């Protein structure tokens, strides 16, 4: 069932696309600067279309089935988003056009900045970061710059809970800070005593995910943010889990100073097979001057009485950490998120989070008698169960995950968070129906039974997918990363 | 709209959970901050939102309605219909990172094809699954070189002709590290070629970064520079516009150790600056130092050839604070766009479009160079973009021509103080001879008037 590669499908002399002939006098190409060979395929249009269409059919996707991948918020991506981003007035806009010719795009960015600030409870927002991890780096650089701007050079320590996503410690290390891991208590909250030990004048900040990666709302969050602030530190909020809080609670209101959003999770921009993401960052008034360069602002107020609209443009924040990437952000994702928020309004957004949390708790209720749930209390938009049983010692979470594929379900996230053994992190999202959740739960329960009665069927799963388990060791050992042989010359 | 719950569903689900209302699920949240009424505009239906979006878009003048010669890192090219029709397949765009290879072979094999195509195009051994854009790809190259030498070679020589946004991004990424950036602070003459960077390379230098074509469109053979860099024990990174590699000698052939680039030229819409595609390729011996995702070939337990994310032990989810980069994604869908684009155009199509860009740009440069008061600054070796010295400030010229729906180019004075009279002009296959002649006459009129 494996598909051929293009280097095998290519036939010398075939062409898939023709450009018009040149309409200018010919000039000689620069001798000595030309390449000899161009190793690209030679295929007809139909071959290319069939090849990629067939490849696409080997994927599981939100459009084809339930995708409860914890911490990734695999909600339905409305089709209107795709139409919106392709409107020629957005898709064909050059990033360096004079701002007078891009007022629509700038107004849209300005409003999305305002809306995200409102949703999170902040003063200002940058839309520039390209992804969640990029937003994290932005946020941590802001925290560092803030301390430095006050002449406070001692603050080099950043606390990261042991339940945090791997990007959190990697980000802090990348920004030159010392990462200190903070343990969780037995209810899955930040351990207050452990935190107290670190609350001193070397504390730059704490990276907090709330709801955390166990899907639990930290019950002591205000105590945590209070202690860090008292010690002179700042709180970075990982907004990966904002899908639980829209219209419910604003992170800015509970002491989180910087927050990144994932437009590709919470605001329905598609995941694209692993990107593009978009990771805007919101900050409190105190930190607004440190945002990346540029932000969108009003550069001329206009005159309402004379029907002269305001003029939007780019502004460099006075103490900016600098530019995080070329140009002004993933505008295509900004259009989609704008569309999504515009179609929901305040009540619709609240309903998104209410139903996301409802769906997760419903699944939790259906599964808790069959799977061990290490931190069993009302969850937010996701929860973590364990894929192991004392009476099925050879079965691991991985086996449960692989078996689920036989029933057309994408498995939950497994082996994360690291503090739970054999974890299965389940995030149904609000867009799934009761019937889908019921069917998924029935399958999970069946697999839990199989784990005891027919463990072999789990160990050898998946059976009904186009591909079976892969030899990952061989891939890493032989390291074939490109098509061999090369294209026929 | 996007939530399927009926009233009956709600009641049944709440009963199963064992709570009376949805509010009960949020009991442990601090009451005084709960349910803040968001100040957002009320919801619109799909019909209404589309009308509003079209109104907003109408307030923009696009690069296709205008006659555009604006480039400077983002280019107006034609995208064949096939590219978007593949991109719009839900199986591709609504999937996530291929963590479960058994049900993600479409994405994985496409990444593997992308890696093969980009490695071949750049003349390098290996290529990762992509970074965010051309700017962050350079920042990752700086990071990689620093870690390659374990911090013992902290100096980076940056050519001043690398895109200003890329250099600014590198500065942001390295602001709190002991990496020392040099070369773009007036140390070398802008007009000079790559040989001017050689005196800046010393035993503390870990990386030299140049662009190909450079920000001013110029193309150089970096072979001699690569030799000098290697003699000093450092690495050479070349930031490319892949469109130029349809005809030009590859950085791999010249001896580059790392090739980064902005892949937007390969079938990705301008989209006001993003999302674009960060290319990143290197030599086999540095593959373990490279950040970012990689798809590798293997077999499944049925003996079928298949693909999987590999060398993941380099990445943040395993190494946490010991990872050299926090990147945990790629530009999946844009890498797919570039893959489909390169597959469809193939050997002949890419050579053809690359040649068209070259020919048309050279025609335009020749015509402009003949105008009184205008002078071609970029010399004769450039790809599809060139810098011209104008008889008056470039932004005045571009503002004036804008009134005639002509985007004449990018005035570089903002990024290069003292060069207020210089205009950067890009030409692609989208520009007809008629467009070019119109630009030339426009420039002539403005400066005579």
Model confidence at B449, pLDDT cuts 50, 70, 90, reads low
**CB within 8 Å: B93 and A480:** no
Q: How many CB pairs below 8 Å do chains A and B form together?
A: 667
Asked if B306 is an interface residue toward chain A (Cβ–Cβ < 8 A), one would say yes
The model's pTM: 0.97
Q: Identify the pLDDT of residue B176.
A: 82
Asked whether the CA dihedral B141, B144, B149, B154 is positive or negative, the reply is positive
Average pLDDT over all residues of chain B: 95
pLDDT score for A489: 37
Contact between B411 and B395 (Cβ < 8 Å): yes
Q: Per-residue pLDDT for B347 more than 60?
A: yes
Confidence label for A488 from pLDDT (cuts 50, 70 and 90): very low
Indicate the pLDDT class of residue A311, thresholds 50, 70 and 90: very high
| CB contact (8 A) between residue A133 and residue B316 | yes
Q: Which of B33, B274, B306 sits opposite A470 (nearest CB)?
A: B306
Question: CB neighbours (10 Å) of residue B442?
Answer: 17
Lowest mean pLDDT among A174-178, A193-197, B289-293: A174-178
pLDDT given for residue B370 in this prediction: 97
Chain A neighbors of B304, CB-CB under 8 A: 1-2, 467-468
Mean pLDDT confidence for A64-93:
97
| CA proximity to A126, closest of A325, A271, A276 | A325
> Does the structure show a pLDDT above 70 at B315?
no
- Which of A133, A165, A328 faces B329 most closely, judged by CB atoms? A133
Q: Which residues of B touch A419 (CB under 8 A)?
A: none
Whether chain A has a CB inside 8 Å of the CB on B205: the answer is no
pLDDT of residue A263: 97
CB contacts of B172 in chain A (<8 Å) are: 141, 292, 321-324
In contact, A21 and B233? CB cutoff 8 Å: no
| Termini Cα distance of chain A | 28
The whole-number average pLDDT for the span A307-317 is 95
Q: To the nearest whole angstrom, how far is the Cα of A208 from the nearest Cα of chain B?
A: 16
| A78 contacts B169? CB cut-off 8 A | no
Cβ distance of B271 and A93 shorter than 8 Å = yes
Considering the domain B67-78+347-448 in this protein, what is its CATH number? 3.90.1150.10
Residue range A185-189: average pLDDT?
86
Contact B103 A483 (CB under 8 A): no
Which residues of B fall within a CB distance of 8 Å from A359? Answer: 13
Residues within 8 A of A (CB atoms), B 162-201 only = 163, 165-166, 168-169, 171-173, 175-177
Question: Which one has a higher pLDDT value, A419 or A337?
Answer: A337
- Domain residue extents for chain B: 67-78+347-448, 81-341
Interface mutation target, options B13, B52, B76, B96, chain A, most CBs of A under 10 Å: B96
Q: How far is B296 from chain A (nearest CA, A)?
A: 5
pLDDT at B316 over 70: no
**Separation in Å, CA A456 to CA A397, A453, A462, B304, B354:** 14, 9, 11, 22, 56
The pLDDT tens digits for B83-95 are 999 999 999 999 9
CA distance A317 to B375: 37
Residue A73 Rama label (left phi>0; alpha psi -120 to 50; beta): left
Binary contact (B271, A331; C-beta < 8 A):
yes
Dihedral of CA atoms A292, A293, A294, A300 in degrees, nearest 10, equals 110
The verdict on a CB contact (< 8 Å) between B25 and A357 is yes
pLDDT of residue B318: 65
Q: Which of A29, A43, A339 sits opposite B49 (nearest CB)?
A: A339
C-alpha–C-alpha distance, residues A487 and A5, integer Å = 10
How many angstroms separate the CA atoms of B109 and B331, rounded? Answer: 15
Q: Which of B75, B108, B329, B403 should one mutate to test binding to chain A, selecting the residue with the greatest count of A CBs within 10 A? A: B329
Measured distance CA(B395)–CA(B272) in Å, rounded: 20
Q: What is the rounded CA–CA span in Å between residue A328 and residue B74? A: 12
Dihedrals phi, psi of A103, to nearest 5 degrees = -65, -35
pLDDT band at A128 (very low <50, low <70, confident <90, very high): very high
Q: Return d(Cα A257, Cα A283) in angstroms, integer.
A: 6
pLDDT at B410 over 90: yes
Residue B78 sits at the chain A interface (C-beta within 8 Å): yes
Residue % of chain B over a pLDDT of 70: 98
- Residue A36 token pair: 């000899």
Query: Do A362 and B13 lie within an 8 Å CB cutoff?
Result: yes
Q: Please say if the pLDDT value at position A160 is more than 70.
A: yes
* pLDDT tens per residue across span A17-42: 999 999 999 999 999 999 999 999 99
In the predicted model, is pLDDT for residue A364 greater than 80?
yes
What pairs with residue B410 in β-bridges?
A: B424
Residue B68 tokens read as 């555009």
* Three-state secondary structure readout of B285-305: HHHHHCCCCCEEEEEECCCCE
Mean pLDDT across the stretch A42-63?
98
Domains assigned to chain A: 80-342 (3.40.640.10)
Instruction: Just give the CATH number of B81-341.
Output: 3.40.640.10
Asked whether the beta carbons of residue A95 and residue B105 sit closer than 8 angstroms, the reply is no
pLDDT bracket for residue A169 (50, 70, 90)? confident
Q: Reply yes or no on whether the pLDDT at A485 is more than 70.
A: no
Would you call A40 and B350 a contact, using CB atoms and an 8 Å cutoff? Answer: yes
pLDDT one-digit tens code per residue, A86-114: 999 999 999 999 999 999 999 999 999 99
What is the per-residue pLDDT for B204?
98
Min CA distance, A257 vs chain B (Å)?
16
Burial of B282: CB neighbours in 10 Å, binned 0-12, 13-18, 19+:
buried
- Nearest Cα of chain A lies from the Cα of B27 at a distance, in angstroms, of 9
Residue recorded with tokens 């701002």: A99
Report the pLDDT value the prediction gives residue A486, as an integer from 0 to 100: 54
Q: Is A280 exposed, middle or buried (0-12, 13-18, 19+ CB in 10 A)?
A: buried
Pick B126's closest partner by Cβ from A52, A86, A481: A481
Chain A residues in contact with B211 by the CB 8 A cut-off are none
Q: Among all residues of chain B, which has the CA nearest to that of A41?
A: B346
pLDDT at B323 over 80: no
């Amino acid at each position: 069932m494996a598909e051929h590669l293009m280097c095998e499908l290519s036939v010398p002399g075939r062409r898939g696309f023709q450009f018009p002939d040149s309409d200018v006098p010919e000039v000689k190409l620069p001798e000595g600067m030309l390449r000899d060979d161009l190793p690209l395929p030679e295929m007809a249009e139909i071959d290319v279309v069939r090849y990629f269409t067939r490849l696409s059919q080997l994927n599981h996707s939100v459009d084809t089935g339930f995708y409860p991948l914890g911490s990734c918020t695999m909600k339905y991506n409305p089709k209107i988003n795709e139409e919106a981003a392709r409107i020629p007035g957005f898709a064909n806009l050059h990033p360096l056009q004079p701002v007078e010719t891009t007022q629509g795009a700038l107004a849209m960015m300005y409003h999305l900045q305002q809306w995200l600030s409102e949703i999170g409870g902040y003063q200002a927002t940058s839309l520039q970061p390209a992804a969640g991890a990029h937003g994290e780096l932005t946020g941590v650089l802001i925290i560092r710059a803030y301390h430095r701007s006050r002449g406070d050079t001692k603050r080099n320590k950043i606390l990261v809970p042991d339940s945090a996503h791997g990007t959190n410690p990697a980000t802090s290390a990348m920004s030159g800070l010392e990462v200190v891991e903070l343990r969780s208590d037995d209810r899955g909250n930040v351990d207050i005593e452990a935190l107290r030990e670190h609350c001193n004048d070397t504390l730059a900040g704490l990276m907090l995910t709330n709801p955390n990666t166990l899907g639990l709302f930290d019950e002591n969050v205000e105590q945590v943010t209070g202690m860090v602030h008292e010690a002179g530190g700042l709180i970075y909020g990982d907004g990966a889990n904002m899908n639980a809080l829209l219209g419910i609670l604003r992170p800015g209101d509970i002491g989180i100073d910087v927050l990144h959003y994932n437009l590709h999770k919470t605001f329905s921009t598609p995941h694209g097979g692993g990107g593009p993401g978009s990771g805007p960052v919101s900050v409190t008034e105190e930190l607004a001057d440190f945002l990346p360069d540029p932000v969108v602002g009003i550069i001329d107020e206009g005159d309402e009485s004379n029907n002269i609209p305001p003029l939007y443009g780019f502004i460099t924040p006075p103490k900016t950490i600098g530019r995080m990437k070329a140009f002004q952000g993933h505008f295509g994702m900004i259009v989609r998120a704008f569309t999504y928020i515009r179609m929901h309004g305040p009540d619709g957004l609240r309903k998104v989070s209410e139903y996301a949390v409802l769906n997760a708790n419903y699944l939790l209720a259906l599964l808790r008698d069959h799977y061990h749930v290490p931190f069993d209390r009302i969850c937010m938009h996701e929860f973590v169960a364990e894929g192991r049983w004392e009476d099925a010692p050879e079965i691991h979470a991985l086996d449960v995950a692989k078996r689920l594929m036989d029933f057309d379900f994408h498995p939950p996230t497994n082996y994360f968070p690291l503090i739970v053994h054999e974890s299965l992190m389940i995030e149904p999202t609000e867009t799934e129906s009761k019937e889908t959740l019921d069917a998924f739960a029935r399958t999970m329960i069946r697999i839990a039974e199989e784990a005891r009665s027919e463990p072999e069927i789990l160990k050898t799963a998946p059976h009904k997918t186009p591909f079976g388990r892969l030899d990952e060791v061989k891939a890493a050992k032989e390291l074939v990363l490109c098509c061999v042989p090369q294209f026929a010359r | 709209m996007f939530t399927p719950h009926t009233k009956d569903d709600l009641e049944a689900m709440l009963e199963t959970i064992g709570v009376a209302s949805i509010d009960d699920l949020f009991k442990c949240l601090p009451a005084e901050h709960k349910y803040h009424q968001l100040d957002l505009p009320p919801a619109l239906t799909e019909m209404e939102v589309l009308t509003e979006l079209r109104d907003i878009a109408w307030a923009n003048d696009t690069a296709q309605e205008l006659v555009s010669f604006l480039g400077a890192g983002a280019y107006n090219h034609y995208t064949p219909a096939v590219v978007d029709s593949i991109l719009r397949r839900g199986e591709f765009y609504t999937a996530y990172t291929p963590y479960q290879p058994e049900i993600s072979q479409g994405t994985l094999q496409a990444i593997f094809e992308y890696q093969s195509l980009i490695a071949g195009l750049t003349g390098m051994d290996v290529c990762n699954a992509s970074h965010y854009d051309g700017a962050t790809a350079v920042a990752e190259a700086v990071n990689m070189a620093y870690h390659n030498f374990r911090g013992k070679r902290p100096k980076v020589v940056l050519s001043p002709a690398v895109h200003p946004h890329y250099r600014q991004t590198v500065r942001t990424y390295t602001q709190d590290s002991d990496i020392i950036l040099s070369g773009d602070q007036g140390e070398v003459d802008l007009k000079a070629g790559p040989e001017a960077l050689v005196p800046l390379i010393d035993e503390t230098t870990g990386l030299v970064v140049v662009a190909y074509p450079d920000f001013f469109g110029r193309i150089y053979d970096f072979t001699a520079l690569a030799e000098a860099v290697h003699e000093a024990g450092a690495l050479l990174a070349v930031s490319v516009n892949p469109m130029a590699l349809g005809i030009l000698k590859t950085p791999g052939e010249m001896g580059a150790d790392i090739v980064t680039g902005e892949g937007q030229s390969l079938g990705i819409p301008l989209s006001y600056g993003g999302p674009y595609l960060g290319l990143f390729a290197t030599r086999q011996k540095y593959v373990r130092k490279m950040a970012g995702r990689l798809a590798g070939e293997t077999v499944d337990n049925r003996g079928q050839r298949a693909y999987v994310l590999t060398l993941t032990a380099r990445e943040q989810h395993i190494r946490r604070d010991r990872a050299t980069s926090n990147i945990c994604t790629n530009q999946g869908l844009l890498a797919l766009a570039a893959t489909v684009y390169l597959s469809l155009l193939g050997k002949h199509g890419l050579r053809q479009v690359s040649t068209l860009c070259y020919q048309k740009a050279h025609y335009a440069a020749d015509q402009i160079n003949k105008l009184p008061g205008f002078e071609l600054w970029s010399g004769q070796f450039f790809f599809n973009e060139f810098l011209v010295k104008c008889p008056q400030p470039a932004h005045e010229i571009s503002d004036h021509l804008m009134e005639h729906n002509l985007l004449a180019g990018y005035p570089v004075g903002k990024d290069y103080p003292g060069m207020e009279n210089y205009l950067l002009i890009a030409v692609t296959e989208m520009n007809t001879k008629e467009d070019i002649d119109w630009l030339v006459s426009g420039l002539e009129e403005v400066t005579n008037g």
